[in-house]
Amino acid sequence: MQRSLALIGLGTGVLLGVAGLASPPKNGAKLAPIDFVRDIRPLLSQNCIPCHGSDDKKRQAGLRLDTREGAMGKLPSGHFAVVSKKPAQSALLQRLTAPAALRMPPVASGKKLSAQEIALLQRWVAEGANFANHWAFQKPVRPALPKVQNAAWGKNPIDAFILSRLEREKLTPNPPADRYTLIRRVSLDLTGLPPTPQEVTDFIADKSTNAYEKVVDRLLASPHYGEKWARMWLDLARYADSAGYGSDPLRPNLWPWREWVIRAFNTNMPYDRFTTEQLAGDLLPNPTPDQLAATTFHRNTMTNTEGGTDREEFRTAAVKDRTITTMQVWMGLTMGCAQCHSHKFDPISQKDFYSFFAFFNQTEDNDMPDERPTMPYHTEEQRRKLDSLKAELAQMQMAGDKAAIAAKQKEIEGIRTTALPVMRELSSDKQRKTTVLVLANFLQKGESVTASVPASFPRLPADAPQNRLGVAQWLVSKDNPLTARVAVNRFWAHLFGRGIVETEEDFGTQGAQPSHPELLDWLALEFMSKGWDIKGLLKTIVLSSTYRQSAKVTPLHLQKDSRNVLLARYPRRRLDAEGVRDQALLLSGLLSRKIGGASVFPPQPEGMWQAAFNGDRTYPTSTGEDRYRRGLYTFWRRTVPYPSMAVFDAPSREACTMRRQPTNTPLQALVTLNDPVYLELAQAMGRRIVQEGGATPESRVRFALQLVLARPPQSTQVQTLLQLYQAELAHFKAEPQAAESMAVKALGALPNGMDAAEQAAWTVVANTLLNLDGVLTIG
Partner 1 sequence: MDELKLSQVRAVTRRTFFNGMGAGIGAMALEALMAQEGKAQPPAPKQNAPLTPKKPHHKPRAKSVIYLHMSGAPPTLDMFDYKPKLVELNMKPCPQSLLKGERFAFIKGVPTILGSPHKFAQHGQSGAWVCDLLPHTASMVDDLTIIRSVVTDQFNHAPAEMFLYTGSAIPGDAAMGSWLTYGLGSENQDLPGFVVLVSGGTDPTGGKSLWSSGFLPSVYQGVQCRSTGEPILYLNDPPGLSRSERRRSLDALAKLNEAEAKQYGDPETLTRIAQYELAYRMQMAVPDVTDVRKESQSTLDMYGVKPGEASFAKNCLLARRMVEKGVRYVQLYDWGWDIHGTGPGDDLMTAFPNKCRDMDRAANALIKDLKQRGMLDDTLVVWGGEFGRTPMNEARGGSKYLGRDHHPHNYCIWMAGGGIKRGQVYGETDEFGYHVVKDKVGIRDLQATILYQMGLDPFTLSYPYQGLNHRLIGPTNEAQIRHELLS
> Which of positions 219-258 make contact with partner 1 (CB under 8 A)?
244-248
Among 428, 618, 664, 752, binds partner 1 (CB under 8 A): 664
Question: Which positions from 408 through 427 interact with partner 1, judged by CB under 8 A?
Answer: none
Contact 254, 239 (CB under 8 A): yes
Stretch that binds partner 1, among 287-295, 466-474, 501-509, 526-534 (CB under 8 A): 501-509
Per-residue binding string, partner 1, 668-687, x by CB under 8 A, is xxxx-xxxx--x--------
Stretch that binds partner 1, among 251-259, 285-293, 488-496, 656-664 (CB under 8 A): 656-664
Q: Does 405 bind partner 1 (CB under 8 A)?
A: no
Q: What is the DSSP string of 612-664?
A: TT----------GGGGG--GGGB---TTS--HHHHHTT----SS--S------
Contact 639, 248 (CB under 8 A): yes
Q: Does 654 bind partner 1 (CB under 8 A)?
A: yes
> Residue 529: CB partners within 8 Å, gap ≥ 6?
none
Q: For residue 339, give Cα distances in angstroms to 223, 238, 315, 316, 507.
A: 41, 20, 15, 11, 19
Partners of 74 in the β-ladder:
80
Stretch that binds partner 1, among 221-229, 475-483, 607-615, 685-693 (CB under 8 A): 607-615
Nearer of residues 436 and 650 to partner 1, judged by Cβ: 650
Among 208, 427, 428, 737, binds partner 1 (CB under 8 A): 737
Among 84, 731, 733, 755, binds partner 1 (CB under 8 A): 731
Question: Which positions from 326 through 385 interact with partner 1, judged by CB under 8 A?
Answer: 334, 336-337, 340, 344-346
Cα-to-chain-centroid distance, residue 736: 48
Helix 197-205 with 179-191: angle, nearest 10 deg: 130
Per-residue binding string, partner 1, 612-641, x by CB under 8 A, is xx------------------------xxxx
Nearer of residues 339 and 363 to partner 1, judged by Cβ: 339
Nearer of residues 221 and 558 to partner 1, judged by Cβ: 558
Among 352, 506, 521, 533, binds partner 1 (CB under 8 A): 506
Stretch that binds partner 1, among 121-129, 457-465, 530-538, 603-611 (CB under 8 A): 603-611
Q: Does 768 bind partner 1 (CB under 8 A)?
A: yes
Q: Is the dihedral of CA 180, 182, 185, 187 positive or negative?
A: negative
Largest separation between any pair of C-alpha atoms in the chain = 101
Question: Which positions from 281 through 320 interact with partner 1, judged by CB under 8 A?
Answer: 302, 304, 306-310, 317
User: In angstroms, what is the minimal distance from the CB of 326 to partner 1?
Assistant: 15
User: In angstroms, what is the minimal distance from the CB of 184 to partner 1?
Assistant: 14
> Residue 728: CB partners within 8 Å, gap ≥ 6?
760, 761, 764, 765
User: In angstroms, what is the minimal distance from the CB of 559 to partner 1?
Assistant: 4
Nearer of residues 395 and 562 to partner 1, judged by Cβ: 562
- C-alpha span between 547 and 189 (Å, rounded): 11
Nearer of residues 379 and 614 to partner 1, judged by Cβ: 614
User: In angstroms, what is the minimal distance from the CB of 353 to partner 1?
Assistant: 14
> Residue 319: CB partners within 8 Å, gap ≥ 6?
357, 360, 361
User: In angstroms, what is the minimal distance from the CB of 85 to partner 1?
Assistant: 32
Among 35, 167, 411, 740, binds partner 1 (CB under 8 A): 740
Instruction: Please state, as a whole number, how many other Cβ atoms lie within 10 Å of the Cβ of residue 139.
Output: 15
Nearer of residues 103 and 573 to partner 1, judged by Cβ: 573
In 3-state terms the chain splits into helix, strand, coil percentages (rounded to 5) of 50, 5, 45
Cα-to-chain-centroid distance, residue 385: 37
Contact 568, 557 (CB under 8 A): yes
Stretch that binds partner 1, among 26-34, 184-192, 264-272, 711-719 (CB under 8 A): 711-719
Stretch that binds partner 1, among 258-266, 420-428, 470-478, 765-773 (CB under 8 A): 765-773
Q: What is the DSSP string of 278-339?
A: HHHGGGSSS--HHHHHHGGGGG-S----STT--HHHHHHHHHHHHHHHHHHHHH----GGGG
User: In angstroms, what is the minimal distance from the CB of 661 to partner 1?
Assistant: 5
User: In angstroms, what is the minimal distance from the CB of 321 to partner 1?
Assistant: 8
How many chain residues touch partner 1 (CB under 8 A)? Answer: 106
Instruction: Please state, as a whole number, how many other Cβ atoms lie within 10 Å of the Cβ of residue 315.
Output: 21
- C-alpha span between 437 and 556 (Å, rounded): 55
Q: Please report which helix (H) or strand (E) contains residue 135, including its range.
A: none
Question: Reduced to 3 states, what is the DSSP secondary structure of residue 741?
Answer: helix
In this structure, are strands 434-437 and 445-449 parallel, antiparallel, or unpaired? antiparallel
Among 315, 644, 700, 702, binds partner 1 (CB under 8 A): 644
User: In angstroms, what is the minimal distance from the CB of 157 to partner 1?
Assistant: 29
Contact 656, 236 (CB under 8 A): yes
The CA-based angle 718-721-727, given to 5 degrees, is 135
User: In angstroms, what is the minimal distance from the CB of 302 to partner 1?
Assistant: 8
Q: Does 196 bind partner 1 (CB under 8 A)?
A: no
Q: Does 60 bind partner 1 (CB under 8 A)?
A: no
User: In angstroms, what is the minimal distance from the CB of 331 to partner 1?
Assistant: 13
Question: Which positions from 533 through 562 interact with partner 1, judged by CB under 8 A?
Answer: 551-559, 562
